[in-house]
Every structure is written in C-alpha cells, then in structure tokens.
Amino acid sequence: MRSNRSRREAARTRRARGGSRGRRVVTILVLSPRLTDGRRDAFRALTRELGEPSFLRPGDHPPEVAAGDAIIVDGPQPARPLEFLAAIRAAVERGAALVALGAAPSERDGFWADMLGVVAAPAPPAGEYFARVTEAHSHISARVAREFAIVDDFVPLMPLGRGSVIVDVSVALRDCAAVIETPRGAGRVVACGFGNTDAALRTPELAQLLARALRPDLHCCGRHIGVGIVGYGPLGGMGYHHGLGVAQTDGIELVAVVDPSLERRKAAEADFPGVRTYAAASELMEDDDVEIALVATPPAHHASLTLALLRAGKHVACEKPLCLSVAEADRLIEAAAASGRSLTVHQNRRWDPDFAAIKRAASAGLLGDIFNVETFVGGFAHPCRTWHSDAVVSGGTGYDWGSHHVDWILQLMGGVPRRVQAFGHKRVWHDVSNLDQIRIRMTWDDGREAEFLQSDIAAVRRPKFYVQGTAGTLVGSYRTITLESIEPGRGYVATEAHHAEAPAELLFARYESGYGISETRLPPAVEQPFAFHRNLADHLHLGEPLAVTPRSVRRVIAVLEAAHRSSTRDASPEVIDLEES
C-alpha cells in the first residue's frame, strides 16, 4: 500500500487535471465524393460531441487545415491539388487526426497509399460480417465490445508500414484487417474498411471507434482508476454487483468498501481479496486511492453521502434514485460542477435487453409517434421485510421500481409530463409502511399520456410494457423463469426467479390498409453486461459523454416527487414546471 503522503501527492496531481473534462470544438473536414443526405446525417451523428463537420465535394475550394483538427477521407478520392494534399500531410504530422473510410487505394504508388499506410485487398460480397477487436493496445478500441456484427460493403486492408491492426474480420477462415491505426508525427491516421454504407456508419460499436479516432486529443492516463463502494449490503446485493462490474471493466479497480456491518466487511474481503474495508464513509473520503465512489446505500442516505463525497473530491456514481426531491438534485448537480467532479446515476436498466429492443423499434420508426406508454411491476405476494418496504428509508413506494419505470417512460416519450397524479392503496400488508399499490399517471401538454403501476396485490400480472404509437402497438409480457434441479437427499427442487429479471416477450402489432393487423415477435437486444461501468470508465479515461447524466435523472426525480405528494394528498393532480425540470 502506498504511504499517505504519496497517495495525497498523486491525488493532487489527478485533481489538477480536472474531473469532468471540457473539450474544445474540433474543426472536422469531410472529403467525400459520395455524399447523400443520409450520409451527411450519419457523419453529423458521428461527430456530435466534437463539432459540426464541413463537407468538401470534388471541385469545392479546399479550406485551410489546422494541426488540432480532424479529417474524414470518405471513399475513393479524386485528384486534389498538390498544395492541399501537402497541407493535409503537414496537419496530421503536427497533430491532426485523419480517418479514412473505404478510401484505401488498390495500388501501392501514390499519395493516399503512402499517407494511409494501407492498400485495399480484393473485397468480398456485401453482407454481414463480425468485426473483432484485436489484442493490439489502442485507446481507440479500449472497452469496445470484443466482437460485433456489421452489415456493410467490407473492404479488407493490407498494411504497408508500421500500422497496428486494431479490428479484424474472419472471411473464409482468413483474418482480414478491418481497422488499422498508424502514428504520423504528432498525429494519427486510422484506415477503416467499414463505414461504406450509411447504415453501417450508425452501427454503435463502429461509431464509437470512429468518434474516438477523430479526436486529436485522445489520450488515456494509462492506469487503473481506484473505486470505492459505499454500502456493500447483504449477500448478492448491489455492493457485490458493483464489485463485479468494476472487476470486469478495464481501466478501473476496486480498492475499498464501506459498510458499518463487520460481517459485510468480511464478506467483501472474501469476495474481492485485497480490498480495503472501512466502517464509515468518512474514512473512505480520506483515502486518496479512491477517485470514484459508488453509493449503494438505501435511498434515504443517497443525497447526503453523494454531496459529502463530491465535496471531498470524489467522482460519484449513485444508486437510483439519486435523491428524493428536485431541490436535492439541484444541490448535487451544483456541487459536482463546483468541485469539477463527475456525477452519474446507476440507471442500469436503460440497457435491459427488452427495453433496448423497444428503444430500437421506436428509433426505427416502427411505432410511429408514441402517444401512450404503460408499465407494470408486481404480483400478489407479501412485500420483502427490508428497507425496500419502509417508507422512510426507501422514500416511498414509487421510488424503488418507479426510478426505473419512470426513466423508461421518459426515455420513450421525451420531455417532462405537465401533470402527475398518483393513486395509492394500503389494504392488505400492514406490517410494512410502504403502500400496497401505487398508480402514477402522467400527462403531457400535447395530450400524450403514460402510466406506471406497481402492486403487491395484483394476482394477475399486467404486461410489463404496453406502448402505443400512431403506426403500431408493442406489448412486453412477463414470463416465469423456474430453475429446476435434482439435489442429493432432497430430490426435485424448483425455484422461481423474480419475474422482473428475465427479459419480457415482445409482440409488435401494426395495421396495414387493405390487409389488417399483422404481428411480429421482436427478439430482445444483445445483452450488455456492466455497460454502465464501461461508460463510466470511458468517461473518466477518454472524456466520452456519460450515458446517464444527472440532468436526465432530475426529470425522473421531478415525476417521483410529484407522485409522492399526490399520493399523500388524496391523489390531487400535481403540476410540474417545465422550465424548472
């Protein structure tokens, strides 16, 4: 273990670098003879976090190219003035980033073969290929999925010099280079055999690789960032989940755990050998090896702990709900900005395979304009007898599952509802203080509506999702998962998993004029385990945007706070100020 002095010195150095790093706007020049409206839109989406691209078509007057900018060379290039080509080379050697998409020439002679350091090999037919991230070290491919599918006109590449193959493809059992990174002076050249169709440019993994490649300032500290978990919790709880997430994410490292329970501290030490354990959060605040604090305590403590940790100079990832009121959310957002630290919320169910499939269908326009969303969770069973069922500690019935379901609704609907009304029932379970059932109704000024229902007194479950749009309706139905086994001495044993853990079965129905209703079953999206933790590492190492911003969660808190007020005031409608939320 490092001495306290060396740890404090290292922390001062890290804090001097800043936390939520700002990034200058990059001038992005696109050289393309194959521009379409769709391709322009794809390039704008690709460069959204960097700057607005400038498109240069054959015959256009070439602009000045600077050292700190980015250049996209798209497709086979026509003849360019020698002065312009020389300016491109000089800009890259001084520090600009150059990304070439399907631009590799087939001949070794000429400017572009020399500049890109690659030539094109014979291309296979267009189709689906599986891109594989290689073992070559590159910040561009750090924490990107090891393999992903892409449909494109793939052009294999052959390196001519000292370039590194960071992505390859197997074609007829032969490894073909797909992305090659080559240093050029102070700059970088990345040649890519993918991205030749507009749709391929929107493949999330490829878009992430290319967006990184376009950043002239892309760099990584080259070390593991220390993480501390505040609130380890019971066996298999959120503390253990976060420990696994950190362990499986390159670039971050679990170094400390806080829990007042000695038994749980010992469990953490057994689960993650070598981890330091503390009885109080104040001890972790003094540990300079901890740069990120994951708050996994019950909700009543989220706001105060998050505020103290931010003021102690830690980046904070807080369990949902971030807090219990908009006023608390505003204090936390302001504290993060004042301290220069990053703040995010573990809304991990944004990556659930069923919800991700619904988002994909909505983004593709299958549903048309969504005007009604209904979600449900529950059954008829005795509530758990832990803090989740206590109104004071949990914040109230709506704040637990409601944090996820309201977030889902707002992700699909956009904006903030104008009016919120909540109907609560306390009729059966009297040994716990949370409501037995709560129905949260949301309406928008334009007439759209949504509802979240959570119930412990619903003997027949409603669908998990019911989404109506002007072009179709999508229903997600719960399915029972039973784990069966034969155990010595006991024989047959069946255990039913919690109904909310398995992805829902998705049915999409649409009306076709002259035909009627057609139905399609949608498969769940590909699972992305610990995507939240990968994004956190990408944000802190590479400056990529947070997937869950505190302002996006502020909207959720506004709805939940309004619903809590309504449920305690005989379901009186509560108005949310759109300008404030």
Q: Is residue 508 in some structural domain?
A: yes
Residue 9 counted as domain residue: yes
Q: Does residue 547 form part of some domain?
A: yes
Structure tokens at 107: 């001949």
- Domain count across the chain: 3
Q: Are residues 207 and 306 in the same domain?
A: no
Supply the DSSP string of 33-91, one letter for each residue.
SS--HHHHHHHHHHTTTT--EEEE-TTSPP----TT-EEEEESS-----HHHHHHHHHH
Domain presence at residue 207: yes
For position 555, which CATH number holds? 3.30.360.10
Residue 22: the pLDDT is 52
Q: Quick one: 308 and 188 in the same domain?
A: no
Clarify whether residues 385 and 522 are in a common domain.
yes
Tell me, yes or no, whether 414 and 284 share the same domain. no
Inside any domain, residue 290? yes
Q: Does residue 433 sit in the same domain as residue 529?
A: yes
171 φ/ψ angles, rounded to the nearest 5 degrees? -125, 115
Q: Residue 521: exposed, middle, or buried by beta-carbon count in 10 A (0-12, 13-18, 19+)?
A: exposed
- pTM for the full model? 0.91
Amino acid in position 209:
L
Q: Cα separations (Å) of 137 from 140, 164, 167? A: 9, 9, 11
Please identify, among 346, 378, 403, the residue that sits at the C-terminal boundary of a domain. Answer: 346
Instruction: Mark whether 209 and 225 lie in a shared domain.
Output: no
One DSSP character per residue, 296-361 reads -S-GGGHHHHHHHHHHTT-EEEEESSS-SSHHHHHHHHHHHHHHT--EEEE-GGGG-HHHHHHHHH
pLDDT at residue number 578: 60
Of 213, 240, 266, the last residue of a domain is 213
Residue 22 lies in a domain: no
Q: Say whether both 10 and 38 belong to one domain.
A: no
One domain, residues 244 and 139 = no
Give the number of other Cβ atoms within 10 Å of residue 263's Cβ: 10
- Residue 550 shares a structural domain with residue 522: yes
Pairing between β-strand 276-278 and β-strand 252-258 as defined by DSSP bridges:
parallel
In a domain, 570, yes or no: yes
Q: Is residue 23 part of a domain?
A: no
Q: Are residues 327 and 440 in the same domain?
A: no
Measured between alpha carbons, how far is 506 from 474 in angstroms, rounded to an integer? 7
Domain end, chosen from 305, 324, 346, is at: 346
Q: Provide the CATH number for the domain around residue 208.
A: 3.40.50.880
pLDDT for position 350: 98
The whole domain housing 100 covers 28-213
Look up residue 69 and give its two tokens: 């900018």
The CATH number of whichever domain residue 341 belongs to comes to 3.40.50.720
Specify whether 180 is located in the same domain as 48.
Answer: yes
Query: Which residues, at least 6 apart from 573, have a Cβ–Cβ distance to it below 8 Å?
Result: 419, 420, 421, 566
Q: In this predicted structure, what is the pLDDT of residue 58? A: 76
Q: Which stretches of the chain drop beneath a pLDDT of 70?
A: 1-24, 67, 220-222, 578-581
Q: Are 299 and 255 contained in the same domain?
A: yes
